[in-house]
Structure 1
């Protein structure tokens, strides 16, 4: 049973450029422009008309955009829940400008070991994450630590929890790595390791969407009976100001927006692509978290029930539900 027909989320790519070279990501290899203020203003108005509730300003590294604080403020003042993930390199310099504009602020950290984290990220950014935590706390912000889990850093989860997130009263978000294109993420997590993550996610101050674990146990999305609702739950806007369908990672079709996002999203051509969500050959076995999370939220099935407790836990902890109340 479908609970919501309107899209929930917009993944708004402000640029594909990045100041890191993460081993599990290929986005930093792409040339890219930066989005413009005029396009953002018009697109936010159309996203509001379409019913979108959450705007994730992403990249690349979103803090590379000189007007990122302007975009966040515009979205926040329009009533959107705003979210942003950063490697921390630029946050200490920009923190004062961003204060109060990001509802869900995530600092990426994949190890308690400086050497291990910096190696995986391809740049020395561990110390900047630590500095970013201190700066954010001083400003009264409530950031999260986003830990991308692979088989080779699973042993670091406990130390990050005990030495970094708990002492600083931060939420630890467990983000199981996912495969796409030709990006190497190592061996898949075993059943025993998935059990370990599931138990870890029950701890105080930890968020893990249990639907992610169930999806991996089930072998990912299946085109014969797709759980993925990427195109109907999530709008992807590229730095070129194009609507990308069915998702960024497949990106089989891009449509120039040209100031008409509302009409474009409801057009016949886009509607036909929505009907193919989760059914394309490339969708078989997919476990891409950023599209599965909103997919779990709009249709009552086993993934909805698996995801619900952890989703409620996070939103109650962060207070983001208050942003959805009409005033």
Structure 2
């Protein structure tokens, strides 16, 4: 049973540029402009008309966009819930200008061991994450730690939780890694790793959407009976001010927005692609978290029930439930 028929999330790529070179991501390899404030203003108004509730200003590294505070301010004024994920290299310099503008601020941290984290990111940034935590807390912000989980580092969850998250009263978000396009993570989760993630997801100040675990047990999305609702739940806007379909990672087609996002999204050409969500050849086996998360939220099925406890838990901790009712 479908509960919500309109898009709820916008993944707004403010730039593909990045000051890190993570091994499990290829976005940083792409040339990219920066979105303009003028385009964003019109797009945000249209996103509001389309029913979107959450804007994820993403990249690349979103803090490379010098007008990010202005973009966030525009979104907040329209009543959106805002989220930003950063490697924290630039956060210490920009923290004051971002203060109060990000509802869900995530600092990426791939290991509690500095050398391991820096190696995975291709740049020294562990110390910047630790510095950023202190700065954010002093400013009254409530950042989260986003931990990309592989089969080989699942045992580090405890150290990260006990040494970094609990002492600073931070939520630890467990983000199971995924393959896409030509990016191969080299890992497949063992049943033991999946069980460990599920157990940790029930602990204090830890968030794991347990539907992610169930989806991996089920072999990901299947085109014959898709769980993915990326096209109808999530609007993807590129730095070139284009609407990308069916999602960023598959990216089969893009449409120039030209100040007409509302009309464009509702057009026959776009809706024909939306109707193919989860059914395209590239969708088989997909388990991309940023599109599965909203997919689980709009249709009552086993994944909806699996996702519900963690969704309620996180929104209660962060206080964002007040903006969703």
Instruction: Tell me how far 1:322 sits from its aligned partner.
Output: 1.3
Displaced runs of 4+ in structure 1, greater than 2 A?
none
Count of matched residue positions in the alignment of Structure 1 and Structure 2 = 325
For structure 1, which segment, 213-222 or 177-186, has the greater mean C-alpha deviation from structure 2 after superposition?
177-186
Instruction: Tell me how far 1:186 sits from its aligned partner.
Output: 1.8
Unaligned segments of structure 1, at least 5 residues: none
**Aligned pairs for 1:17-96 within 5 A:** 17-96=17-96
Instruction: Tell me how far 1:112 sits from its aligned partner.
Output: 0.6
| Post-superposition CA distance 1:120-155 (Å, at most 9, x none) | 000000000000000000000000000000122222
> Residues of 2 paired with 1:186 and 1:145: CA distance?
23
> SS at 1:110's partner residue?
coil
> Residues of 1 paired with 2:147 and 2:307: CA distance?
18
> Residues of 1 paired with 2:153 and 2:124: CA distance?
17
Mapped pair 1:315 → 2:315:
yes
> Residues of 1 paired with 2:307 and 2:119: CA distance?
32
- What TM-score does the superposition give when structure 2 sets the normalisation length? 0.99
| Post-superposition CA distance 1:155-197 (Å, at most 9, x none) | 2111000000000000000000000011121221111110111
| Post-superposition CA distance 1:193-221 (Å, at most 9, x none) | 10111001100100000000000000000
Unaligned segments of structure 2, at least 5 residues: none
**Corresponding residue for residue 141 of structure 2:** 141
Instruction: Tell me how far 1:46 sits from its aligned partner.
Output: 0.2
| Post-superposition CA distance 1:289-308 (Å, at most 9, x none) | 00000000000000000000
Cα pair 1:151 1:186 within 8 Å, conserved: no
Cα pair 1:23 1:184 within 8 Å, conserved: no
> Residues of 1 paired with 2:94 and 2:192: CA distance?
41
> Residues of 2 paired with 1:112 and 1:195: CA distance?
21
Mapped pair 1:219 → 2:219:
yes
Instruction: Tell me how far 1:10 sits from its aligned partner.
Output: 0.1
- What TM-score does the superposition give when structure 1 sets the normalisation length? 0.99
**Corresponding residue for residue 188 of structure 2:** 188
Mapped pair 1:2 → 2:2:
yes
